[in-house]
């Protein structure tokens, strides 16, 4: 018999908003006989969450993501998953598709795209709230908070009215908005031994990557994040590029290094004491982002003329800078050139940023 207290199935996120190590989603309420909200859960043992003993931890995967489910009461479960907002959204989406009512803030956001009944004010409010959750620096949060002064409402109203011009104006700032919320990706490439890993360590202020005098030390892509002037920057260190790889492993490293040039916001081509290899120059010539030539080991160059002779400034380089990862000379200059190339211009003060686009939400149903 159904208890008086049994309610419709509801899901809510118990953990704090924003990315974290772990997120906990609580699912509570009566499970109608034909309903299985745990359908995507691939469990490791024979117990299903619906009839598992109370407080038994069930290990398994949800669309490939490791997580655990604990039945904490007769009609109550906790799904403990990776704390990134994507994992949580994915699970909430599945629960919602299985008939669960999502009652948390994240649930409100999910429904933003599919509910014609929400006003532009409500939608704008949710967009700003969700964007704020993603901000990891005060500067980013300040810029997003400025969006709550009515400009997002106006943008949504004009989009709902089919104003194509305003849509295009706002979308112009999509890369900027993406970087504000998710950070920039900067690739460090160059020939073996040029000092890429040394520079990664210098830029991040810690010994993240192995440095050695043996060419070909770094084999895989290696990342490290830092904050520059309030901007999140994720640096990718990579295997040194040369025409003749000494092994299959090195060849694979070089392939990954070259492939990574397609998926970053800026490439820093680190040069050692030899000209940049032709193979790398050819790849960089087709890059769809700025390429900064970074002449490292400045401490070993005797005159400015050495630099000119080593690396004549030709395509594909947008700019160049002289540094030493050893003495740290030129590092501040390098950081400011990188920011200039990453953010060539800032949006005018009253710009309504394309938050919905950046968050991947379709607001076609918005009502003015």
Ligand X SMILES: Nc1nc2c(ncn2[C@@H]2O[C@H](COP(=O)(O)OP(=O)(O)OP(=O)(O)O)[C@@H](O)[C@H]2O)c(=O)[nH]1
Residue ranges in contact with Mg ion by CB under 5 A: 196-197, 217-218
Phi and psi torsions of 128, nearest 5°: -65, -45
Instruction: Supply the minimum distance, in Å, between the C-beta of residue 213 and ligand X.
Output: 4
What does 212 bind: ligand X, Mg ion, none (CB cut-off 5 to 8 Å by kind)? Answer: ligand X
Reference 10, options 61, 85, 77; nearest CA is 77
In the complex with ligand X, the residue whose CB is nearer, 107 or 190, is: 190
Residue nearer to ligand X on the CB measure, 148 or 221:
221
Q: Residue of minimal CB distance from ligand X?
A: 240
Cβ proximity to Mg ion, 211 vs 329, nearer residue: 211
Of 115, 103, 93, residue with least CA distance to 8:
103
Q: Given the complex with ligand X, which of 89 and 296 has the nearer CB atom?
A: 296
Min CB(82)–ligand X separation in Å: 30
> Pick from ligand X, Mg ion, none: which does 198 bind, CB < 5 to 8 A by kind?
ligand X
Nearest to 128 by CA among 352, 304, 292: 352
Q: How far apart are CA 257 and CA 277, in angstroms?
A: 13
**CB of 323: closest distance to Mg ion in angstroms?**
16
Binding site for ligand X (CB under 6 A): 190, 192-198, 211-213, 215-218, 239-240, 296-297, 299-300, 324-326
Closest CA to 344 of 173, 101, 92: 173
* Shortest distance, position 252 Cβ to ligand X, whole Å: 14
Nearer Cβ to ligand X (105/211): 211
Taking CB within 5 to 8 Å according to partner kind, which of ligand X, Mg ion, none is near residue 216? ligand X
When CB distances are held under 5 to 8 angstroms depending on the partner's kind, the choice from ligand X, Mg ion, none that residue 249 binds is: none
Min separation Cβ 87 and Mg ion, Å: 32
Kindly list the strands in the beta sheet with 101-102, ordered across the sheet, starting from the edge strand earlier in the chain.
Answer: 41-43, 57-62, 65-73, 76-82, 22-28, 10-13, 101-102
Q: Which is nearer to Mg ion, 217 or 318 (CB)?
A: 217
DSSP H or E run through 237: strand 231-237
Q: Which of ligand X, Mg ion, none has residue 193 at its interface (CB below 5 to 8 Å by kind)?
A: ligand X
In the bound state with ligand X, the residue whose beta carbon lies nearer, of 60 and 195, is: 195
Task: Choose among Mg ion, ligand X, none what residue 8 binds, the Cβ cut-off being 5 to 8 Å by kind.
Answer: none
Instruction: Tell me how far, at minimum, the Cβ of 228 lies from ligand X, in Å.
Output: 20
φ, ψ for residue 292, nearest 5 deg = -105, 125
Q: Output the smallest distance, CB 329 to ligand X, in A.
A: 8
Q: Where do the H-state alpha helices sit in the chain?
A: 85-97, 105-112, 120-134, 138-146, 151-160, 164-171, 174-182, 196-204, 248-260, 278-284, 304-310, 331-342, 355-358
How far is residue 197 from each of residues 191, 192, 201, 224, measured CA to CA in Å? 12, 10, 6, 11
Q: How far is the CB of 328 from ligand X (least distance, A)?
A: 9
Question: Residue 124 or 323: which CB sits closer to Mg ion?
Answer: 323
Torsion sign (Cα): 121, 126, 131, 132: positive
Structure-derived torsion over alpha carbons of residues 114, 116, 118, 124, reported in degrees to the nearest 10: 70
Considering CB distances under 5 to 8 angstroms, the limit depending on partner class, which of Mg ion, ligand X, none binds residue 183?
A: none
């Amino acid at each position: 018999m159904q208890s008086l207290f049994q309610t419709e199935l509801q899901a809510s996120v118990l953990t704090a908003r924003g990315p974290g190590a772990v997120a906990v989603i609580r699912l509570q309420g009566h499970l109608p006989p034909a309903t299985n909200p745990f359908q995507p859960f691939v469990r490791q043992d024979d117990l299903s969450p619906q009839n598992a003993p109370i407080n038994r931890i069930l290990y398994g995967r949800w669309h490939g993501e490791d997580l655990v489910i604990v039945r904490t009461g007769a009609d109550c479960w906790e799904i403990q998953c990776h704390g990134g907002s994507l994992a949580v959204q994915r699970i909430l989406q599945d629960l919602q598709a299985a008939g669960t009512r999502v009652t948390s803030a994240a649930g409100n956001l999910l429904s933003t795209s599919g509910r014609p009944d929400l006003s532009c004010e409500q939608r704008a409010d949710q967009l700003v709230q969700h964007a704020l959750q993603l901000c990891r620096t005060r500067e980013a949060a300040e810029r997003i908070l400025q969006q709550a002064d009515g400009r997002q409402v106006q943008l949504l109203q004009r989009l709902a009215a089919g104003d194509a011009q305003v849509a295009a104006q706002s979308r112009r700032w999509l890369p900027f908005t993406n970087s504000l919320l998710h950070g920039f990706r900067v690739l460090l490439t160059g020939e073996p031994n040029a000092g890429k890993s040394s520079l990664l360590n210098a830029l991040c202020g810690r010994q993240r990557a192995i440095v050695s005098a043996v060419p070909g030390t770094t084999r895989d892509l290696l990342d490290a994040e830092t904050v520059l002037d309030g901007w999140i920057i994720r640096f990718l260190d990579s295997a040194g590029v040369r025409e003749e790889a000494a092994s299959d492993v090195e060849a694979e490293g070089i392939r990954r290094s070259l492939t990574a040039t397609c998926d970053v916001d800026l490439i820093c081509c680190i040069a050692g004491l030899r000209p940049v290899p032709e193979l790398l120059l050819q790849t960089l010539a087709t890059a769809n982002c700025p390429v900064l030539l970074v002449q490292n080991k400045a401490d070993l160059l005797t005159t400015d003329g050495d630099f000119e002779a080593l690396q004549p400034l030709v395509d594909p380089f947008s700019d160049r800078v002289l540094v030493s990862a050893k003495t740290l000379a030129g590092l501040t200059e390098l950081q400011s050139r990188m920011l200039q190339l990453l953010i060539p211009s800032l949006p005018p003060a009253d710009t309504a940023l394309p938050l919905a686009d950046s968050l991947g939400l379709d607001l076609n149903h918005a009502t003015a």
